[in-house]
């Protein structure tokens, strides 16, 4: 009961702690929540939360990048703040730039656009009706007419109504017109990846669907420093780009990020950690899982892993990956998306073509299962560090 | 008016302003539902001598001067309502004259829903469930519209229609089981909370993407029509979802393919932070379809709906009810939202305190001496007890067996999935201390 009461008190504290927000909290949920808390407290049968009922802790530990020194002064930012910073730099320097999508005006459901409407005006940061095909179509048109169009799709899981516009229009605009027209000024941003409880429609990683589409670029950062630099590159890039932001990292990933604009090149994979025995390839959140796996491999198996962040899924940096596999002879690729037809399959196929005789073991893919992303089974579904570690063991002992 | 006519022509959806009251004749009309052969508009035979536009579907005349159809010529589509804020029937001839039993049932269902919402919202804040969406302010819309339906009518919802399921008899245990994703969940623990479904109660399982249910409902209605069993379909969605391309598709298909279907738009003024003036121009989504408005949050729909349903089934036409739940959305969008970031305290306060459907219905009942303070007290106690019991029970139950992660991807389990399942168990057995197996059914 004690734990319970503490939690109830904590809940009330949190509700009241937000100053002005508290008053509306009290209106909406205050009466109701206090009612709810009272009920929960009075009920003798309500057990205190057991370990199994607590929501799962994250499946990774975030490893921040070292502080960059080459881009000027830095400040502490989390992932969503690094997005805001990139957008702020863009709106400041490019008068044609506009940001639009569902709920971006008040700051966005993940707070990526907080403050921008007030700073730059409602004609530059604005809500659209609830319609993804419209958002992307509108963005293509704006880009064709010369504006820097930055479209937000609220969750990557909801990008599919826009699939026709992306694949049949955006990707093919330049090619089909003989380079008379293009929508290179278009960037589409969307939250991406598992978040602990997102289930079927708030956890998806759809990069593989878009990897199959020549004409667009697909980019996924692992942290705030990469995020800002890569996003600015996407915005500057004269091709339509899709930028997936790992939503589980929005708050959890904190780094010192340069306040000025800077770019990190697209289509360049980064060797985050050098090693000699096994090449590990991933992108986004999974990089942090593999970092731990690399440490575990070193400690428990004496195995030295080379960790590569692919960063750009399309067009991807085959050279860096193949060079690494030529050195180590062993490759593990890991992503949350389902294994069949996932992007690891493409990497695997190319690597075995280029590095066949270097390979000491079959290429390992540790990925999601071929099911929709489940809710309560997430701990069993995701390619966690134990599955990856086990795969490294098998690679070494092949 | 010209605008409305052209919309009507474009979609062939009935355009009516229906004057109705809270569902008195509901029962009678439902029984009277008959299946008549649809008297569809026949094409005019082609006649090149006539000075009229001669293409299929045209019924207009030529004019010789340019005329603009102004969108805001009329002062909006009238909003039908029966009760005023104090729960009094405005026009006595529209009094639905529902029985005391019916109204008490409505009230109890609405308040039970409200109680369940409060408990489950709080439980999310405490980390017991991962997510929740409340139905504050829309209880009347749900219960009222559900009451007019036949239990066989298929319901396609969006995510804020728990009252419809509650009215139909979905037990508290199963609501809780889905939110807790425990072993009793009919959905087998795969979806986030509030994604309910019940085959027995003809409530199609909710999915998160918006408006996807709208063309599906049209297809289901078409199939129901061919079944010839007087079954209708109702499709709920919010005014935000009505902006999706799927909504346009659904409306158009339902009209051209003559589907017996009610589209029920819950217009609560907001789509997360987006107010309606950023969602559409005009006074409602009625521009895209039919123009029936009912003030649903006052349980009015129980009255207007049966007649609409009869016509929908009899004439194989879709009807659109736009419920201006201008109690607006009282709660946050979900537990992931803090609406103080975009709404004023006063605005929300007003709707919660002064114009709530539950209090209006209570005034209606107390005015007829159907409900006393003592009744209220004892019902509150009883409903809270019911909710708490279900809650405590749900919390203690195990989660479903992890094998259920792999089933129902297809009807049959593919060899590939069998292999993946076996690999998962081999792995989990070897590393079992890292997996929360104790919480799951064995």
ipTM of the complex in this document: 0.87
Residue B98 is predicted with a pLDDT of 86
Chain B positions in Cβ-Cβ contact with residue A368 (cut-off 8 Å): none
Residue B96 — very low, low, confident or very high, per pLDDT cuts 50/70/90? Answer: confident
Among all chains, which residue has been given the structure tokens 């879709």?
B318
Q: Which 3 state secondary structure label does DSSP give B8?
A: helix
Nearest CB to A376 within list B131, B181, B387? B181
- B195 among known catalytic residues: no
Is B75 among the catalytic positions? no
Residue A8: C-alpha distances to residues A18, A52, B124, B315 (Å): 17, 19, 12, 55
For residue A90, cis peptide bond before it (omega within 30 degrees of 0): no
pLDDT in tens, A267-281: 999 999 999 999 999
B122 vs A40, A199, A202: nearest CB: A40
Distance from CA of B38 to the nearest CA of A (A): 34
Residue to mutate among A29, A58, A105, with most B CBs inside 10 A, is A29
The C-alpha atoms of residue A348 and residue B204 are separated, in whole angstroms, by: 41
What are the start-end ranges of the H helices in chain A? 2-16, 20-25, 31-42, 79-93, 116-120, 132-144, 163-164, 173-176, 207-211, 224-236, 249-252, 286-296, 318-328, 343-354, 378-381, 385-396
Closest-CA residue to B169 (of B113, B126, B119, B211):
B113
Q: How far apart are CA A232 and CA A84, in angstroms?
A: 11
Q: How far is B46 from chain A (nearest CA, A)?
A: 38
Strand partners, B238: B266
- Chain A residues in contact with B118 by the CB 8 A cut-off are 32-33, 35-36
Distance CA A45, CA A43 (A): 6
Query: Which of the four pLDDT bands, split at 50, 70 and 90, describes residue B344?
Result: confident
Tokens of B236: 């709920």
pLDDT tens digits, B200-252: 999 999 999 999 999 999 999 999 999 998 899 999 999 999 999 999 999 99
The pLDDT of residue A23 is: 34
* Residue A70 among the catalytic residues: no
Kindly determine whether residue B435 and residue A379, on different chains, have CB atoms separated by under 8 Å.
yes
**Residue B294 CB burial class (10 angstroms; 0-12, 13-18, ≥19):** buried
Window 189-218 of B, Cβ < 8 Å to A: 189-192, 195, 207-210
β partners of residue B237: B265
Return the residue of A nearest to B407 by Cα.
A371
Strands B154-156 and B233-238: parallel
Q: Measure the CA angle with vertex A282, ends A193 and A267; round to 5°.
A: 100
Q: Is B336 on the interface with A (CB under 8 A)?
A: yes
Residue A353 phi/psi, 5-degree rounding, is -70, -45
Compute the nearest-CA separation of B11 from chain A (Å).
Answer: 21
A127–B273 CB contact, under 8 Å: yes
End-to-end CA distance of chain B: 65
Take residue B60 and report the two structure tokens written for it: 């207009």
User: Is 90 exceeded by the pLDDT of residue A13?
Assistant: no
Q: In a 3-state reduction of DSSP, which class is residue B387?
A: helix
Contacts of A386 in chain B (CB under 8 A): 427, 431, 434
pTM of this prediction exceeds 0.90? no
Query: In this predicted structure, which of B8-22, B203-217, B241-255, B361-375 has the lowest mean pLDDT?
Result: B8-22
Angstroms from A263 CA to nearest CA on chain B? 32
Max CA-CA distance within chain A?
Answer: 74
Lowest pLDDT segment from A97-106, A264-273, A378-387, B298-307:
B298-307
In this structure, what token pair is assigned to residue B129? 């469930």
């Amino acid at each position: 009961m004690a734990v319970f009461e503490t939690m109830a008190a904590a809940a009330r504290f949190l509700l009241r702690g937000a100053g002005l927000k508290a008053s509306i909290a009290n209106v909406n949920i205050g009466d109701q929540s206090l009612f709810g808390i009272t009920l929960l407290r009075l009920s003798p049968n309500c057990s205190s939360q057991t370990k199994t009922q607590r929501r799962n802790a994250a499946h990774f530990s975030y490893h921040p990048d070292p502080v960059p020194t080459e881009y000027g002064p830095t400040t502490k930012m989390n992932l969503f703040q690094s997005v805001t910073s990139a957008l702020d730099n863009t709106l400041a320097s490019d008068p044609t730039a506009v940001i639009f999508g569902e709920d971006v005006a008040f700051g966005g459901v993940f707070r990526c656009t907080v403050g921008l409407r007030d700073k730059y005006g409602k004609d530059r940061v604005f809500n659209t009706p609830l319609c993804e095909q419209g958002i992307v179509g509108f963005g293509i048109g704006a880009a064709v007419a010369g504006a820097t169009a930055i479209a937000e799709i609220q969750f990557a899981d909801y990008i599919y109504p826009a699939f026709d516009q992306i694949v049949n229009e955006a990707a093919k605009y330049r090619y089909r017109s003989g380079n008379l027209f293009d929508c290179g000024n278009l960037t589409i941003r969307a939250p991406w990846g598992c978040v602990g409880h997102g289930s079927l429609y708030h956890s998806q990683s759809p990069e593989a669907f878009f990897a199959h589409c020549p004409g667009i670029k697909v980019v996924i950062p692992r942290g705030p420093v990469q995020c800002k630099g890569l996003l600015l590159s996407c915005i500057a890039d004269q091709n339509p780009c899709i930028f997936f932001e790992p939503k589980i990292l929005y708050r959890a990933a904190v780094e010192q990020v340069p306040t000025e604009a800077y770019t990190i090149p697209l289509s360049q994979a980064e060797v985050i950690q050098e090693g000699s025995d096994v090449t590990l390839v991933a992108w986004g959140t999974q990089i942090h899982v593999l970092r731990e796996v690399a440490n575990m491999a070193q400690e428990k198996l004496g195995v030295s892993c080379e960790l590569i962040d692919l960063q750009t899924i399309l067009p991807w940096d085959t050279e860096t990956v193949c060079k690494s596999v030529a050195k180590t002879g062993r490759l593990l690729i890991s992503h949350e998306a389902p294994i069949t037809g996932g992007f690891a399959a493409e990497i695997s196929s190319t690597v075995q073509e280029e590095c066949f005789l270097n390979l000491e073991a079959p290429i390992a893919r540790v990925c999601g299962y071929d099911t929709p992303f489940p809710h309560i089974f997430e701990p069993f579904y995701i390619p966690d560090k134990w599955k990856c570690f086990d795969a490294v063991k098998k690679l070494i002992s092949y | 008016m010209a605008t409305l006519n052209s919309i009507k022509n474009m979609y062939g959806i009935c355009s009516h302003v229906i004057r109705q009251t809270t569902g008195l004749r509901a029962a009678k009309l439902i029984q009277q539902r008959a299946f008549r052969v649809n008297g569809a508009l026949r094409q005019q035979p082609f006649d090149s001598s006539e000075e009229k536009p001669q293409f299929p579907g045209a019924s207009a005349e030529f004019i010789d001067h340019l005329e603009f159809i102004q969108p805001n010529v009329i002062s909006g589509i009238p909003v039908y309502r029966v009760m005023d804020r104090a729960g009094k029937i405005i026009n006595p001839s529209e009094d639905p004259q529902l029985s005391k039993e019916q109204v008490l049932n409505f009230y109890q269902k609405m308040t039970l829903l409200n109680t369940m919402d409060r408990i489950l919202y709080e439980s999310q804040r405490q980390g017991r469930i991962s997510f929740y969406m409340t139905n504050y302010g829309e209880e009347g819309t749900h219960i009222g519209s559900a009451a007019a339906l036949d239990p066989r009518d298929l319901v396609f919802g969006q995510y804020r229609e728990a009252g419809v399921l509650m009215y139909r008899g979905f037990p508290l245990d199963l609501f809780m089981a889905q939110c807790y994703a425990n072993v009793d969940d009919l959905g087998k623990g795969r979806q986030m909370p509030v994604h309910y479904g019940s085959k027995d109660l003809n409530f199609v399982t909710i999915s998160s993407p918006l408006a996807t249910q709208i063309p599906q409902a049209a297809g289901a209605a078409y199939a129901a029509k061919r079944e010839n069993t007087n079954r209708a379909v109702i499709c709920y969605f919010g005014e935000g979802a009505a902006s999706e391309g799927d909504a346009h598709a659904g409306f158009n298909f339902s009209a051209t393919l003559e589907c017996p279907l009610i589209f029920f738009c819950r217009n609560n003024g907001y789509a997360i932070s987006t107010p309606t003036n950023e969602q559409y121009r005009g006074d409602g989504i009625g521009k895209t379809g039919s123009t029936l408005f009912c003030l649903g949050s006052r349980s009015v729909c129980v009255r207007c709906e049966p007649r609409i349903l009869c016509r929908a089934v009899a004439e194989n036409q879709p009807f659109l009810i736009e419920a201006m739940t201008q109690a607006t959305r009282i709660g946050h969008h979900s537990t992931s939202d803090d609406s103080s970031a975009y709404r004023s305290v006063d605005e929300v306060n007003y709707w919660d305190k002064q114009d709530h459907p539950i209090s209006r219905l209570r005034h209606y009942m107390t005015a007829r001496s159907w409900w006393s303070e003592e009744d209220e007290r004892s019902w509150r106690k009883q409903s809270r007890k019911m909710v708490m019991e279900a809650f405590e029970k749900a919390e203690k139950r195990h989660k479903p067996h992890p094998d259920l992660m792999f089933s129902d991807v297809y009807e049959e389990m593919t060899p590939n999935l069998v292999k993946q399942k076996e690999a998962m168990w081999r792995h989990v057995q070897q590393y079992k201390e890292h997996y929360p197996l104790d919480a799951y059914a064995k």
